[in-house]
Amino acid sequence: RKEVEQDPGPFNVPEGATVAFNCTYSNSASQSFFWYRQDCRKEPKLLMSVYSSGNEDGRFTAQLNRASQYISLLIRDSKLSDSATYLCVVLSGGYNKLIFGAGTRLAVHP
Amino acid sequence: ETGVTQSPTHLIKTRGQQVTLRCSSQSGHNTVSWYQQALGQGPQFIFQYYREEENGRGNFPPRFSGLQFPNYSSELNVNALELDDSALYLCASSLKREGYEQYFGPGTRLTVT
């Protein structure tokens, strides 16, 4: 079983749509969780951290359910510029080892 | 831009050769981590360097080795290249060993033929 699992997609949505990505992780001792965004042939960039209380940044909302070991990302009012691969990431251990899921590809069309 | 730079941008090598990739961390960052990203996959942790010492290693064979220099820049060396080593190699720097904010460089795309 992979440590971090995501639906690979692709998700093809029209502009203005709401889209949700899900992710599960296997290590119940994991403490920190993130969503990264990666554009085609570019480096990953931190989109947002994920907290147990949930957090929101503009059109983006992240949720964490520790009991179910489940992380989600909701994007409202999708823009063409949101087209990218979204990577679910878990921080492992006592040092900076980021464990990435394989990513979910999003394509927003006019 | 993150301030993390990598060189070269692209590289083509043949099986069995050796390669060295370079990374300059963001100013003031003393920790560098290296990741391998195969096509269609998420990045996989190779190892981390903190103050010139290896501080953790992923599931990669010993032919993957690294260095960190006093100015915190880093090198990734791969010996006896295999076709499966073809990937995007990313380095990420962070301000401290246990902080989570990692800033990625643009990567080096390695093709092994």
Contact B48 A102 (CB under 8 A): no
What per-residue confidence (pLDDT) applies to B6? 97
| A53 or B35, which is more confident | B35
Q: In this predicted structure, which of B5-19, B38-52, B97-111 has the lowest mean pLDDT?
A: B97-111
Nearest to B41 among A32, A45, A102 (CB): A102
The DSSP output letter for A77 is S
**B45 CB within 8 Å of a chain A CB:** yes
Q: How confident is the model at residue A8 (pLDDT cuts 50, 70, 90)?
A: confident
Please give the single-letter amino acid code of residue B87: A
Q: How much is the mean pLDDT over chain B?
A: 92
Is the pLDDT assigned to residue A93 strictly greater than 70?
no
In A, which residues are within 8 Å of B39 by CB distance? none
For chain B, the helix, strand and coil percentages under 3-state DSSP, each to the nearest 5: 5, 50, 45
What per-residue confidence (pLDDT) applies to B100? 64
* Cβ pairs bridging A and B (under 8 Å): 66
What per-residue confidence (pLDDT) applies to A41? 86
What per-residue confidence (pLDDT) applies to B98? 59
Interface of B with A in 69-108 (CB under 8 A): 88, 90, 92, 94, 97-102, 104-107
Contact B40 A102 (CB under 8 A): yes
| Portion of chain B with pLDDT greater than 70, in percent | 96
Residue A66: half-sphere exposure toward Cβ, Cα within 13 Å: 11
Distance CA A42, CA B48 (A): 21
Digit-coded pLDDT (tens) for A34-49: 999 999 989 999 999 8
Q: Please tell me which residue of chain B has the smallest CA distance to A48.
A: B101
* CB contact set of A21 (below 8 Å; sequence gap of 6+): A6, A7, A11, A35, A72, A73, A74, A75, A86, A88, A104, A106
